[in-house]
Amino acid sequence: MNLEAIKPLSVKHLISIADLCLEDVEKIYAVTHFLKANRSTAPKGLADKRLAMMFEKESLRTRVTFDVGMQDLGGSAVYLDYQEVRLGARESIKDVARNMSRWMHGIVARTYRHRTVQDLAKNAEIPVVNGLTDFLHPCQGLTDFFTMTEVLGSVKGRRFAYVGDGNNTCHSLIHAAALQGCHISVASPEGYEPNSRVVNQAMRMAQTSGSEIRIMDDPKEAVKGADCVYTDVWASMGQEDETEERAEIFSPFRVDTSLMSRAASEAIFLHCLPAHRGAEVTSEVIDAPSSKVYQNAENRLHIQKAILYLLMRD
């Protein structure tokens, strides 16, 4: 593959999968395949480029993969935590974005408020990548569907089941499914369903892709015949005080071998990690051969390298 011949994405920033077109996703996957297969020999496409990593939330996978990804591509990363930046508190987001635009070549932001990342993108002259907000997790959603393509081939017409909290990861998975023509069923307890704005937006996207989107409260029905079964933690960062209450509410939504048996015979299991074994998923499921969680975790590195390359190259 001639990376230099690949045209840029249709967007300047990656804030939401819903901002992308199908050609963008296919381009990201193609570059990801190449960079993963040729990690030691691929050209250093971001030589001398600098990435600012601005994190309000703790992180293992996002921090390591963006940092290592920049090194793989010949660039460097500067990590800034909440105490150092304090976006919107110590200094306005506008001024932070303007300063970073003079020093750096890109920003990845992992924040609580989604508006924070949107405001960074609005005011930055350099690309901004959403590394996670309380509303969306686009890099994870793209990674999950890329892993599906590696294991199952094309995701169009496949059945994807998400069981659990209708959170940021769930929202990005809905967007990814709708854009790529994958049928998605989401099972959440009453009151914990995905945001209606996300669902309505995905419904409009599905009119073009042919995706079927179902929101329900029955995990058994959601998983029936699914090619991929997915779950996430019941209490996300910032919801720690709800852990005990959520454990009781979500217990019928635990992914165990019984629930997995309702999926397709060759179904895979995915989780964005970290996982709480015995809570949202049992050890028998996450450690089974059908589980691709660690392959998926590795793919975060390669997907994000592709995103950075396509957004930050000259």
By three-state DSSP, how is residue 134 classified? coil
Is 232 a residue of the active site?
A: yes
Is 272 a residue of the active site?
A: yes
211 exposure class (CB count in 10 Å sphere: 0-12, 13-18, 19+): buried
Q: Is the peptide bond before 289 cis (omega within 30 degrees of 0)?
A: no
Is 300 a residue of the active site?
A: yes
**Residue 70 token pair:** 């920049």
Q: Which of 110, 171, 246, 271 is catalytic?
A: 110
**How many Cβ atoms are within 10 Å of 281's Cβ, its own excluded?**
28
**Rounded to an integer, what distance in angstroms lies between the CA atom of residue 112 and that of residue 206?**
28
Q: Which of 67, 183, 272, 304 is catalytic?
A: 272
Q: Which of 63, 183, 300, 302 is catalytic?
A: 300
Q: What are the beta bridge partners of residue 185?
A: 161, 214
Q: Which of 137, 183, 246, 271 is catalytic?
A: 137
Q: Which of 61, 67, 140, 254 is catalytic?
A: 140
- Contact of 126 with 103, CB cutoff 8 Å: no
Q: Which of 105, 232, 246, 254 is catalytic?
A: 232
- The sign of the torsion formed by the CA atoms of 58, 64, 66, 70 equals positive
- Contact of 189 with 250, CB cutoff 8 Å: yes
Is 134 a residue of the active site?
A: no
Give the active site residues: 110, 137, 140, 232, 272, 300
